[in-house]
């Protein structure tokens, strides 16, 4: 085989590998099951459950979403940052709960935000992986109710939930997400992606868009 053929083969195998797996369902968690349609303004937020900036970004975003009601839909995508040791396992917990009891997904996200310090790198440095998973699962059970306890536990060894979490990560990468929080409005990245936005700023961003649309 000549070198040029080898190079061509290598190129095509790269192209094939370059296609990220396409999930059966759009990635992310819909807030309050408020359908995201082209008739609503769609906000997408990439959050890492153990990122302090994501935690701080949530209350003002939530407040804005509540203010605009049915005009705005929100999809949160988990985006586990590699330098947060427990980002993937907490993101996976969100997927597990979203499969078992979708309505509890945001409750779990808020529980992670509220108790985030327990899952930072330093306090879990000397903990075994299994004890961290147990700790994370406890939050998931708290969000869903104890009847889901065994399903949640087995969720952490179910390859499907691992793959779903990988899809979230790959999806973020494919859209150029490099930090959290990271926001898109109607598919367009906000200029200061990777930083927090307070309520006033959300109003400044969304008020003109709402006005321009025919929703009002």
Ligand X SMILES: *[C@@H]1O[C@H](CO)[C@@H](O)[C@H](O)[C@H]1NC(C)=O
Q: How far is the CB of 138 from ligand X (least distance, A)?
A: 21
Compute the least distance from the CB of residue 128 to ligand X, in Å.
12
Q: CA-based Rg of the chain, rounded to a whole angstrom?
A: 19
How crowded is residue 109: how many other Cβ atoms within 10 Å of its Cβ? 27
Contacts of 194 (CB under 8 A, 6+ apart): 178, 179, 180, 181, 182
CA torsion sign for 93, 61, 33, 183 is negative
Specify the residue, 25 or 122, whose C-beta has the smaller distance to ligand X: 122
Q: How many residues does the chain have?
A: 216
In whole angstroms, the minimum distance from the beta carbon of 122 to ligand X comes to 5
- Closest CB to ligand X among residues 122, 216: 122
Considering the complex, state which of residue 126 and residue 157 has its C-beta at the smaller distance from ligand X: 126
Cα 210 from Cα 68, distance rounded (Å):
9
Two structure tokens written together for 69? 């009601």
Measured between alpha carbons, how far is 102 from 25 in angstroms, rounded to an integer?
14
What is the C-alpha separation between 16 and 14, in angstroms, rounded?
5
Q: In Å, what is the CA distance from 41 to each residue of 37, 55, 67, 207?
A: 8, 23, 13, 11
165/121 Cα distance (integer angstroms): 20
Shortest Å distance, C-beta 120 to ligand X: 10
Task: Give 122 or 159: the residue with its C-beta nearer to ligand X.
Answer: 122
Nearer to ligand X, 39 or 117 (CB): 117
Partners of residue 43 on adjacent β-strands = 74, 185
Is the CB of 122 or the CB of 211 nearer to ligand X? 122
Tell the smallest beta-carbon distance from residue 132 to ligand X (Å): 14
User: Smallest gap, in angstroms, from Cβ of residue 126 to ligand X?
Assistant: 4
Q: What residue ranges bind ligand X (CB under 6 A)?
A: 122, 125-126
């Amino acid at each position: 085989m000549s070198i040029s053929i080898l190079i061509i083969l290598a190129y095509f195998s790269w192209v094939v590998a370059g296609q990220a797996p396409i999930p059966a369902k759009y990635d992310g968690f819909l807030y309050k099951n408020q359908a995201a349609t082209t008739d609503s303004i769609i906000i997408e937020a990439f959050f890492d459950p153990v990122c302090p900036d994501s935690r701080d970004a949530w209350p003002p975003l939530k407040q804005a979403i509540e203010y605009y009601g049915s005009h705005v839909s929100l999809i949160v995508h988990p985006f586990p940052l590699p330098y947060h040791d427990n980002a993937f396992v907490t993101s996976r917990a969100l997927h597990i709960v979203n499969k078992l009891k979708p309505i509890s997904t945001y409750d779990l996200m808020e529980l992670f935000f509220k108790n985030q310090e327990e899952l930072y790198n330093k306090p879990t440095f000397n903990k075994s992986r299994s004890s961290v998973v147990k700790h994370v699962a406890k939050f998931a059970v708290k969000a869903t109710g104890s009847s889901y306890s065994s399903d949640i536990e087995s969720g952490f060894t179910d390859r499907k939930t691992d793959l779903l979490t990988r899809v979230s990560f790959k999806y973020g990468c494919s859209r150029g997400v490099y930090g959290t929080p990271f926001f898109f409005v109607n598919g367009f990245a906000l200029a200061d992606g990777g930083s927090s936005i307070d309520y006033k700023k959300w109003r400044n961003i969304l008020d003109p868009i709402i006005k321009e649309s025919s929703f009002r």
